[in-house]
Amino acid sequence: MRGGKVGMEVGSLRERILVALLIYKFGEQNVKTDIPITEPEADVYVFDKPFSIKTLSNSLNGLKLVWTVDAESAVKFSTEYVPSCDMIFEHIYWERQGGLYCIPKSVQLEIFEQMGRAEYIKLPKAGTNPRGVEMRGKALKFLVKHSETLKISINWQKGRIEFDAFERWIELWDNEE
């Protein structure tokens, strides 16, 4: 948290937790994590198959397809984007039912083609700080309800964790002496 709010770093942390689960389940030798930052969509390879990892809290709206800060990059992405790998999607809905989904590339392409680019992709409003290009909520709802999408339902309960990252790291650094 920063200033009492969850920052964008939480996405990287959530991604690491899911990758750790994949390593635990399939073995370190079968999960490749050293993906170049220039790789457009893949976050991890499992048995040499690329997966994109996405997380969304609360309602099924505003899933980021790409993070960007300028309108030109957003428009360029929206004209070139086509789903390129399977997706692991974590839907965190605190105090409600969410889930963990595996959405095959074939399902993404099917919905993308059915809806069309303009209905699948939501560009940020002009003149704002966009932070990225999103998948429309309607598209995401079709993806998670598709018969070929795998789902593990999760009832998300928010617990209170008493943890101060600064104190923890100071303690660890202090033990190095």
Question: Which pLDDT tens digit goes with each residue over 76-108?
Answer: 899 999 999 999 999 998 888 899 999 999 999
Neighbours of 119 (CB within 10 A): 13
Domain spans in the chain, listed from the N-terminal domain onward: 9-174
pLDDT of residue 69: 72
What percent of the chain lies above the pLDDT cut of 70?
A: 92
Quickly state the pLDDT bin for 2 (edges 50, 70, 90): low
pTM of the predicted structure, to 2 decimals: 0.83
Asked if residue 1 has pLDDT above 90, the reply is no
pLDDT of residue 38: 77
Residue with the larger pLDDT of the pair 177 and 116:
116
Sheet holding 133-135, edge to edge: 63-66, 133-135, 121-122
Give the best-scoring range by mean pLDDT among 43-52, 128-137, 155-164. 43-52
The topology under which CATH files domain 9-174 is: ECO RV Endonuclease; Chain A (3.40.600)
Alpha-carbon distances of 105 from 23, 112, 117, rounded to whole Å: 21, 10, 16
pLDDT of residue 9: 66
Asked if residue 116 has pLDDT above 90, the reply is yes
Separation CA 121–CA 162 (nearest Å): 39
The one-letter amino acid at 29: Q
Quickly state the pLDDT bin for 177 (edges 50, 70, 90): low
Task: Summarize pLDDT for 5-49 with one digit per residue, the tens.
Answer: 655 666 677 888 899 999 999 999 999 999 987 777 899 999 999
Separation CA 156–CA 64 (nearest Å): 21
